[in-house]
Structure 1
Amino acid sequence: MSFEGKTAWITGASSGIGAALAQEWASRGANIILSGRDEGRLSAVADRLETETLTLPFDVRDEESMREATDTATGWKGGVDIFVANAGISQRSPAVDTDMQVYRDIIDIDLTSQIAASQALLPHMTGRGSGKLLFISSIAGKVGVPMRTAYCAAKHGLIGYADALRGELSQSGVDVHVICPGSVATDVSRNALNGDGSVRGRSDKVIDNGIAPEDAARRIVDAVELNQREIIVAEGMEEAMGEMRRTPDQLFDQVSGMVAAGYMEKMQAED
């Protein structure tokens, strides 16, 4: 597909993969909507894009603000063609030393809020009969990684939601893509939470030496253009782990076939 003239809405767009995706889609002719908590940083990203942009700052946990942003986004440029659920926060702490509030916060930001934003946008996309939903999970959403129990729980959950949603929407014209990055050179580790909820404040060498965000964004957009449903963006051992846990396309097709054969209607008729 061509992205020329399409509108891509990206959350967590002030830095890292989100900002890089904005740049990549803008370079391919798309209009860009940028969301995140920091309006100043969003504006700085917008200033670098050679396309029409709209900044919609809000905290993903503020559902009222999110719904107001959804109304604005769907009313701009004829609607939202691509939505990227990218906002998130990571963790670096053993489970035994991690407060339950850290689990609640990470699951709220990385999972529940992403679901809420997608649910708010679903009527718009299904009503139009077209659209693409992208969920930024992680290799840690496929493989349990030590020191990241809360993060893994949230990212595994995001894949579960996205895969089920893909099946439900398989006859609607709306595509669902799951993105599983490995180490990408962003501030994800520096911004991660310690077991007591404090911000870690330092990065990991493996993250610092990871894939450049611009490279990751190009790979993601190329794969979306090819309509790949599960997109692994990783190298070395991380890529190998992701590929070992990759969901076969045949399984996606089987679920879509169930929906096409009336599975959902039969289930609802039994209620």
Structure 2
Amino acid sequence: MDRVVLVSGGARGIGAALARAHRARGDLVVVADLHPTGPDQVRLDVRDREDFARVADEVVARHGRIDVFHANAGIAVAGAMTEMTPQHWDDLIDVDLRGVVHGVEAVYPHLRRQGEGHIVVMGSLAGVLPVPAMVPYSAVKAAVVTMARALRVEARRYGVRVTVVCPAFVETPLLDHINPGLRPTHANRVGLRLVRKVQGPPMDPDRLAERVVRTLHRNPETILAPRPLAHLAVLGERLAPALTRRVSGVVLGRYLTMSPTEEEQSEVGRGSALRGGGAGP
């Protein structure tokens, strides 16, 4: 029987790529997003606990079960701590943390009753490595990563699997919409250019999604991407944290001193209310 897959933030970015990867394997995919892009998608505000419960209940009522749930919806907030406002923190926590909590609250009871299922949480490499100039994002993603790992221990009693995905930067619309609807920071001007200097080209979302979907049957606790960059970064954090902090300090220095190009300066006001397919790191 085809698996029933629910993807939050599935209209674009990583979420849309996950939907494509599952459909390529014959799975039935339900895409839920704050900004649906097609009539077959469901509107979902992950900040609303009752709205998430409604969507999960409707999927089960219509299709009988949920086999895989991708808690994927998210926004990207970046900038030095001195650039952050309370609204940067509040919006990020509401979407990227509470949104995951609400998803788990809505879906997990159904999976327990089924005695099987898989929750896949979209974390970030920034949740494993502390990233300056992304302090709120790094803190929230660290909470999400820890939540998924702790839930994994509890959930296995009920036959439910939990995996957290921790990518570096991924080529999604969120990279072009940092601090959506919020006061722009220096990251809105130079962030993408700095990402390319540090990481190289952001990871292709379809490559990430293909790897995630292909790997799920192994039930990994954590999926790091891309190889070998993410694995080397985590290894460095474990073995030489002082060195990784020094490297982070160098990157922070670049961020603070980079001057925006004329094109970057002209695009600083492009922020939107996009809350969709999950961005890295």
Gaps of 5+ in 1: 44-53, 247-271
Change (3 A) 1:76 1:194: closer
Structure 1 partner of 2:192: 204
Q: CA deviation at 1:237?
A: 3.9
Partner of 2:154: 168
Letter in 2 for 1:92: A
TM, length-normalised to structure 1: 0.79
Q: CA deviation at 1:182?
A: 0.9
Contact kept? 1:185, 1:210, Cα under 8 Å: yes
Instruction: Return the alpha-carbon distance in structure 2 between the equivalents of residues 18 and 245 of structure 1.
Output: 28
Partner of 2:69: 83
Contact 2:120 2:162 in 1 (8 A): yes
Aligned counterpart, 1:232: 224
State the match for 1:137 in structure 2.
123
Match of 1:176, SS state, is strand
1:194 CA displacement: 7.7
Of 84, 107, 110 in structure 2, the residue corresponding to residue 121 of structure 1 is 107
The structural deviation recorded for 1:74 is 1.5
- Pair 110,170 (structure 1): closer, same or farther in 2 beyond 3 Å: same
Q: 2:5, 2:66 within 8 Å by CA — same for their partners in 1?
A: yes
Partner of 2:224: helix, strand, or coil? strand
CA contact 1:190–1:201 (8 Å) conserved in 2:
no
Residue equivalent to 2:279: none
Instruction: Measure, in 2, the Cα distance between the counterparts of 1:230 and 1:166.
Output: 11
Q: CA deviation at 1:187?
A: 1.8
Compared with structure 1, are the counterparts of its residues 114 and 221 closer, same or farther at alpha carbon in structure 2 (3 Å cutoff)?
same
Q: Which segment drifts farther, 204-213 or 142-151?
A: 204-213
Pair 1:121–1:209, CA change in 2 (3 A): same
Question: Which structure dedicates a bigger proportion of its chain to helix?
Answer: 2
User: What is the root-mean-square deviation in Å for CA atoms of aligned residues?
Assistant: 2.2
Cα separation, partners in 2 of 1:213 and 1:75, compared to 1, 3 Å: same
Give unmatched runs, 5+ long, in structure 2.
239-281
Higher relative contact order (CA 8 A, sep 6+): 2
Q: How many residues align?
A: 232
**Residues 48 and 102 in structure 2, CA contact (< 8 A), matched pair in contact too:** no
Provide the rounded CA distance (Å) in 1 between the counterparts of 2:178 and 2:129: 18
Do residues 10 (structure 1) and 42 (structure 2) align? no
Shift of residue 244, structure 1, vs aligned partner: 4.5
The answer on 1:152 being equivalent to 2:138 is yes
In 2, the alpha carbon distance for the partners of 1:203 and 1:38 equals 25
User: Does structure 2 conserve the Cα–Cα contact (< 8 Å) formed by 1:36 and 1:42?
Assistant: no
- 1:231 maps to amino acid: I
Say whether the 8 Å CA contact 1:137–1:180 is kept in structure 2. yes
Q: Is the 1:190–1:203 contact (alpha carbons within 8 Å) kept by the matching residues of 2? A: no
Cα distance in 2 between the residues matched to 1:198 and 1:224? 37
1:219 to 200, 211, 216: 211
Deviation at 1:76, TM superposition (A): 2.3
Kindly indicate whether the alpha-carbon contact (under 8 Å) linking 1:10 and 1:35 is maintained by their aligned counterparts in 2: yes
**1:233 partner letter:** A
